[in-house]
Structure 1
Amino acid sequence: MEKNNHIPIRNIYYMLSYAYQTLNFSEYKQIGTEKFENIKELYAKILSIGIPVLIRGGLSKDYISVEETSNVIKGKMDINSTIKNNALVNKKVAVVYDEFSENILLNQIIKATLVYLSRSYQISKKMRRLFYGLLPYFTEVSDVELSLNLWKNVKYDRQNIRYQFTVDVCRYLYEQLLLDESSASQMMKEVQDEQRLSSLYEKFIYAFFKRETNYNVSHPQIQWSVDDDFVDALPVMQTDLVLQKDKKTLIVDAKVYSENMAVRFEGGVAKQKSSNLYQIFTYINNWEKEADETVAGMLLYAKTTALNQPNHLYHIKGNQIIVVSLDLQQDFSGIKENLLAHADQFFMEV
């Protein structure tokens, strides 16, 4: 079975299930019983179900600005464009107006993805035909060139949040196919795969504790504890996960790397990644503690195939820092047991 960064496809499915509760819907239940040879098949299957679900619910619309030359004045007349384009010769004027349209970025991304997948020979012929057959539903949507930059401009709100899962999976699959087609070095491919998995890992860890435990679960930004209120240019401290219960707070930072520990030279002693320790230590020290509150930090790495894996407990200047790794290759029951045990390590101690 092909693995994504050494993680079995079945566990990628479970991670998606937690990170996006959409997979609990009846339309997706058949996926849980199927076997997939590679991650591309899983993503393609999800999209083959998710995109029709969006279509049946009606494609989202929003007001977009339209600029055109017309012999009917509507919206605002653009005098400069009218003169520049010499529109008056044809008894027309340039106008700018808002139109309630399906031609929005989210629909453009899905259409571009459908075009790309319908032509990709890395997808089965059956899937290519299915994706091609969905394109007529997007005739009112402009064609755009598919690129990773498109996702950078995506914003969600209450009206379009139903798109998030499908649009994210569009990106996961596009990145996977792009990576396979690329002639980049194996090292660069591993870095890109690591970045893609990191986002899913963070979402999964947060959703797991939200669903499976009674902790107060959040992921707030931590404010810098400055002496004079001057915070200009200070970096944002965005937590991945904060667990709270009974005056105890555990700040968790989820990490995905090809190597979880640093070795300066072959055969050298493995050390913790200093930047990660500095980060979690800074989070702890800037957390605004309440009276009698105990605050600790945890670095939760996704376990790699390397011999040396972090499994340490430190007490530094009165602060407890737990550094552990989670084996994502084991059965999911083991993943669940390990995650609960890692949290209990802090919350159950007397």
Structure 2
Amino acid sequence: MERNNNIPIRNLYYMLSYAYKTLSLNEYKQVGTEEFENVKELYSEILSIGIPVLIRGGLSKDYISVEETSNVIKGKIDINSTIKKNALVNKKVAVVYDEFSENILLNQIIKATLVYLSRSNKISQKMRRVFYGLLPYFTDVSDVELDLKLWKNVRYNRQNIRYQFIVDVCRYLYEQLLFDESSTSQIMKNAQDEQRLSSLYEKFIYAFFKRETKYNVSHPQIQWSVDDDFVDALPIMQTDLVLQKDKKTLIVDAKFYSENMVARFEGGTAKQKSGNLYQIFTYINNWKKEPDETVAGMLLYAKTTALNQPNHIYHIKGNQIFVVSLDLQQDFSSIKENLLTYANQFFA
């Protein structure tokens, strides 16, 4: 069976660092020099460093709606609630008002994670003590039951974007521990790992080229080149990465699968995944080219353990399509070198 999730912990750290732009932060530099036995240790170490950083910077606050019965009128009076609670008997009314508070979802997720981790026997006693020691800083934050659904309601903006790295790592670690404690099948665990790593892989590839190269780096949506302006129900063409330089454009689609090529039967000839080729070919042909602009596509797979890996260059109807695989198990300096080489195949 093919696999691609045996990525060295050190490389996972670098991928996270690029994806969340933490390479330049002094607090995390020591993480890159440590050895970890598993990904849970890595995530735990990141949280033990990152949560105190958030605390020192001040927990984020926002306006939240508060409902209470009071003998002091503030905000709006809720007549219906006042009557239902029979509050007037005690010379009180039900009021609703906005309060600038730390008791927001982001802080609730972190507190719930700290409570969960401080009680988990899946991490070291030393780390449990560290997490327990951080709980007093969240005294004014409500207790919520830790559940994966919480993350679906998270929204980031310029005021709270500093939370994203830590809140995402909270989820990664919680998921990891959750699967360890459940009877979920190995197939389900592998699928969850692949989904998580696929998202990280896309973010890493984009952030790497943004940081390490002088290309114009973006990930725009491509509009369909229709003849009559009718686009209802057409799927969105969201690129993972677009590199541009000197009237040359390379559209890159990052692919992280447990299987990169397919064969119709065991022992048969391995072929490209047709859907991926159709996708990148469609991107190229709908890209609105400037005069004298050259456009090419690249499928950038994460290498699996299979013998046959994508490593091809096609010329189809005047379009160049690169299909390559990146070995995430090699030394990270080699990963960087490979990525730059792949791009230079087109831009050199």
Same fold by TM-score, threshold 0.5 exceeded? yes
Amino acid at match of 2:70: S
Match of 1:154 in 2: 154
> How far, CA to CA, are the matches of 2:332 and 2:179 in structure 1?
27
> How far, CA to CA, are the matches of 1:207 and 1:16 in structure 2?
10
How many residue pairs were aligned?
Answer: 346
For the residue of structure 1 that corresponds to 2:253, the secondary structure is strand
Match of 1:93 in 2: 93
Match of 1:285 in 2: 285
Counterpart contact for 2:4–2:258, Cα < 8 Å: no
> How far, CA to CA, are the matches of 2:231 and 2:183 in structure 1?
43
For the residue of structure 2 that corresponds to 1:32, the secondary structure is helix
Match of 2:276 in 1: 276
Cα gap change, 1:123/1:23 in structure 2, threshold over 3 Å: closer, same or farther? Answer: farther
Amino acid at match of 1:124: S
Pairwise CA distance, 1:4: 8.2
Match of 2:104 in 1: 104
Counterpart contact for 1:48–1:127, Cα < 8 Å: yes
Counterpart contact for 1:310–1:325, Cα < 8 Å: yes
Consecutive unaligned residues in structure 1, runs of 5 or more: none
Amino acid at match of 2:319: N
Pairwise CA distance, 1:108: 0.8
Match of 2:29 in 1: 29
**Structure 1 stretch displaced more, 107-116 or 312-321:** 312-321
Match of 2:175 in 1: 175
Match of 1:338 in 2: 338
Instruction: Summarize deviations over 1:227-264 as a string: whole Å, max 9, x none.
Output: 23333333222111100001110111111111111223
Consecutive unaligned residues in structure 2, runs of 5 or more: none
> How far, CA to CA, are the matches of 2:278 and 2:88 in structure 1?
65
Instruction: Summarize deviations over 1:46-77 as a string: whole Å, max 9, x none.
Output: 10000000001100000111122222221111
Q: CA RMSD in A?
A: 1.5
Q: How does 1:207-246 map to 2 (within 5 A)?
A: 207-246=207-246
For the residue of structure 2 that corresponds to 1:24, the secondary structure is coil
For the residue of structure 2 that corresponds to 1:94, the secondary structure is strand
For the residue of structure 2 that corresponds to 1:174, the secondary structure is helix
Counterpart contact for 2:59–2:107, Cα < 8 Å: yes
Counterpart contact for 2:250–2:297, Cα < 8 Å: yes
Amino acid at match of 1:139: T
Match of 2:202 in 1: 202
* Greater relative contact order, per chain length (Cα 8 Å cut-off, separation 6+): 2
Amino acid at match of 1:107: N
Match of 1:138 in 2: 138
For the residue of structure 1 that corresponds to 2:99, the secondary structure is strand
Regions of 4+ moved over 3 Å: none
Counterpart contact for 1:15–1:201, Cα < 8 Å: yes
Pairwise CA distance, 1:141: 0.8
Identity in percent: 87
Amino acid at match of 1:327: D
Q: How does 1:41-60 map to 2 (within 5 A)?
A: 41-60=41-60
TM value normalised by structure 1: 0.95
Amino acid at match of 1:106: L
Pairwise CA distance, 1:157: 1.2
Pairwise CA distance, 1:334: 1.0
Match of 1:312 in 2: 312
> How far, CA to CA, are the matches of 1:171 and 1:231 in structure 2?
37
Counterpart contact for 1:4–1:39, Cα < 8 Å: no
